[in-house]
Structure 1
Amino acid sequence: MQKRRTIGFQIKQINNGYEKEFNRRLKTLGITASQCEVLDYLLGCSKEEVTQKDIEKALNLRNPTVTGLLKRLDEKGFILSVPSNKDKRCKNIYPTEKAYDIQRRMEADRKRLDKLLTLGLSKKETAALERMLDKVLYNIAEP
């Protein structure tokens, strides 16, 4: 009898497959899935000033991880870091025109991947899955 896999293991496997396929699709744009998540946050953020701390909190990532992501996005010309007028220790992060230029393609790739993830599921099943995943994410989120 085969041992039952844990839910956590299944979620990890899904994430690994998703990230691998997303990275493959984004390669032509010169970014990774992780960098795409940062750009997506910046492009969709309603705040006028976004700091590294904001990105860390929104994406549930640690400081060294975000530092590396921002460094590479800056080197590639997708973001601009400007010292904050309010706090000189902080930098505000802004997407560049280059980031806006690839926004539609990033969104299209994400939508195609979502369709792949839910292939064979009805709209009702997909909605139920989204609700359940929201609950799982809430359960594991840091306070």
Structure 2
Amino acid sequence: MQKKRTIGFMFKQINNVYEKEFNNRLRTLGITTSQCAVLDYLFDCEKEEVTQRDIEKGLNLRNPTVTGLLKRLDEKGYILSVPSNTDKRYKNIYLTEKAYDIQKRMENQRRKLDKMLTIGMNKKEIEALEKMLNKVLYNIAEP
């Protein structure tokens, strides 16, 4: 008899498989899922000044992790770090043209993977899944 898996375990398995598949797809673009997440955050905030600390909070990542991600994105030419005009202790992070050039290709890979996730589901089921996942995220997120 197969033991019933916990919901948390299933989320972990889904995340592992999703990240592996997304990394494989992004490899052709020369970036990782973690680097993609930082770029997505910056695209979402492009009208605002964004510091490393903002990225740490927004993505719930630790300082050393974000430092490494920003370093690699800078080396690849996707971002620029510029000292803040208001507080020289901070650097504002800006997207480069190269980042905008890759944005559509990243989104295309994400859409393809999302379609794979929902194979066999109709529109109502997908909407219900999104609603339930938002509830789960709300329930577990820090206030």
Alignment TM class, shorter chain as reference: over 0.9
Q: Is residue 2:136 matched to residue 1:142?
A: no
Task: Report deviation, 1:12.
Answer: 0.7
Amino acid in structure 2 at the alignment position of 1:120: G
Provide structure 1 residue ranges, at least 5 long, that are not aligned to the other structure: none
Q: In structure 1, how many angstroms separate the alpha carbons of the residues matched to 2:65 and 2:53?
A: 12
Provide structure 2 residue ranges, at least 5 long, that are not aligned to the other structure: none
Task: Report deviation, 1:55.
Answer: 1.0
TM-score, normalised to structure 2's length? Answer: 0.96
Aligned to 1:89: 89
Aligned to 2:18: 18
User: How many pairs are equivalent?
Assistant: 143
Root-mean-square deviation (CA, aligned residues, Å) is 1.0
Identity %: 79
1:49-85 deviation per Cα after TM superposition (whole angstroms, max 9, x unaligned): 1111111121121211111111111111110000101
Please show how residues 31-110 of structure 1 align to structure 2 within 5 Å.
31-110=31-110
Aligned to 2:114: 114
Q: In structure 2, how many angstroms separate the alpha carbons of the residues matched to 1:62 and 1:135?
A: 25
Q: Using the TM superposition, name which of 116-125 and 45-54 deviates more.
A: 45-54
1:4 match: secondary structure: coil
1:85-138 deviation per Cα after TM superposition (whole angstroms, max 9, x unaligned): 111111100011110010000010011111011111111010011011111111
**Runs of 4+ in structure 1 displaced over 2 angstroms?**
none
Q: In structure 1, how many angstroms separate the alpha carbons of the residues matched to 2:135 and 2:100?
A: 32
TM-score, normalised to structure 1's length? Answer: 0.96
Q: Is residue 2:124 matched to residue 1:129?
A: no
